[in-house]
A and B are shown apart, each in its own frame.
Chain A
Amino acid sequence: MGKRSVIPFGPQHPVLPEPVHLDLAVEDEKVVKAIPQIGFIHRGLEKLTETHDYQNYVYVAERICGICSFGHSLGYCETIEQMMDVDVPMRAQKIRVMLHEISRIQSHLLWLGLTADAFGFESLFMHVWRLRENVLDIFEMTTGGRVILSINKVGGLVRDISDDVLSQVESKLVSLKDEYQQIEKTFLSNSSVKSRTVGVGVISHDQAENLGMVGPFARASHVNNDVRCLGIGGYRLLSDFVPILDTTGDCYGRIRVRCKEVVQSIDIALEMIRSLSSGSVSVDVKGPIPDGAQAVNLLEQPRGECFYYSLGNGTQYLERMRMRTPSSENLAGMVAALQGCDLADVNMIILTIDPCISCTER
């Protein structure tokens, strides 16, 4: 056995879009232990509830993370709506589900691109990001923003989307599906992709359950934890929803799960657009939050289950807002997957877990 040495990894590293620091203890070329260190992007957003009232906090909530920005504003609004017993109009709920699914497409495409970059497939990376631009165009068309959409508010949506625009979105999604399926083929059957990913960073079913992993990371190990199955909020409107699972538990499995989820999300978004009925998109919510009112909400973010808890204190300001984000739960799984892997596979494994450090640290 070789001498043990420690290699620092990050916070500034070419494969990492976000800063996380890992101390990798290696023996020869094998990683024996990985010790993560976080805190580079901690801002302290939960405390901002003291200075922003519950209506304004939506804009802070969606800046928890730029990739799952829409999801966080949705999760937050749903939590407050539960506390205040607000019935959100049907049209708003459907548009919310549609936008959330399109956000998932955006996030998965972003991730697929970065993964292609991590295993050195530059042209695939560029192609995926070219497709992703089409998705961002949909956002720009419907909400005016590309990343931070700012369309949610407590009680519904800030503004309606016209039927004309919606039909354009529909045709864009249909053409996106065709184009995407060609790229998906490369991801799933290209031999150089397979040689980098099959059998790398395996997490077994039991391990995934014991470590409490969430999202596509766990679904690749055949743990069904898709919160969309519970039918919370707008998701109860889905006609049938079958979560995508894989049994391999390796990097390839994680790629496969996310690849299929893109198609599934396109289908859900299309279903929502086609079943939209006219009506208003928001109800007025006014007044303070009742003292002691509490609410809990779950939302399936692109990276997995996100948990929201809030507590009111009889004023416009929340007493407590707590989010438990998917990436912070997956950190334990990431450390487990890194144990015993080759040094060259480290960036591949870290990426397939899709850590979102902004969410983790808030």
Chain B
Amino acid sequence: MSKPSKSPWVIHYDASSCNGCDIEVLSALTPGFDLERFGVINTGDPKHADVFLVTGGVNTQNISVIQQIYDQMLEPKVVIACGACACSGGVFHSCYNLIGGVDKAIPVDVYVPGCAVHPTQLIDGFIKGLEILDKKAALMSSKKKNKQISQSSGVQAIPSPEAAEHKENSLNQETPVQKEETKRGA
């Protein structure tokens, strides 16, 4: 890959893992493997993080926690599922309290297998994740540029807030029957 365009910060959450993958994630960040040399910093705040490392599968109690952390992260963001459990449920796939891999809760970009995941595998997966992060960032900025161009040239590719408001007003003026229909359609 080319050079990463920024220092990616990570947030780590332990879903229902056995801890094995957690400590390997930490090992990858500490001397020995030292992901920090790529500018990676482990942060506790979802709003600062670019990469979400999840270990372990999803159960009924932590699914909302995972979704909440994911929602709090700003775009662009990448989710890496670390370990067999996070990919598919692993050895615990038949447990009564396990829903499955992390992709049952949030979209996952990179799957890193292994039980427990080896830090070198993790670094490999991480670099793949950074590529995706860069792509997502490029897509976002090109969208933004498009918007700016279209606004300045008067062509509306993406509806502006005023247009949306206008649409809403016209909806409000519809007859009650029509409203019912639109509701049902939605």
Contact = CB atoms under 8 A, between A and B. Distances in A.
Interface of A: 11-14, 17-19, 39-45, 47-48, 51, 59-60, 63-67, 69, 110, 113, 125-127, 129-130, 132-133, 136, 145-148, 356, 358
B21 interface: yes
Contacts of A13: 44
A352 B46 CA distance: 26
Interface stretch (B1-9, B27-35, B154-162, B175-183): B27-35
Given A47-B96, A147-B24, A40 B19 contact: no
Given A19-B14, A41-B16, A133 B96 contact: no
Nearest to A125: B30
B59 A43 contact: yes
A44 B96 contact: yes
A235 to B, nearest CB: 25
B115 interface: yes
Interface string B22-64: 1110110011100000000001111000000000110101100
A345 to B, nearest CB: 18
A94 B94 CA distance: 35
A40 B31 contact: no
Given A129-B31, A130-B30, A358 B17 contact: yes
B17 A42 contact: no
Interface of B: 11, 13-24, 26-27, 30-32, 43-46, 56-57, 59, 61-62, 65, 69, 91-92, 94-98, 115-116, 118
A19 B54 CA distance: 12
Contact of A148 (B69, B96, B116): B116
Given A41-B15, A358-B19, A130 B69 contact: no
B30 A126 contact: yes
Contacts of A48: 94-95
A40 B18 CA distance: 12
Contact of A147 (B23, B44, B46, B98): B23
B95 A133 contact: no
Given A47-B96, A67-B19, A40 B61 contact: yes
B95 A129 contact: no
Given A126-B31, A129-B30, A43 B16 contact: yes
Given A43-B92, A47-B95, A130-B31, A356 B19 contact: yes
Contacts of B11: 12
Contacts of A43: 16, 57, 59, 92, 95, 97-98
20 contacts: A14-B44, A18-B22, A19-B62, A40-B59, A40-B65, A41-B14, A41-B62, A43-B16, A43-B98, A47-B96, A48-B95, A59-B91, A66-B20, A67-B23, A129-B27, A129-B30, A130-B32, A136-B27, A146-B24, A147-B20
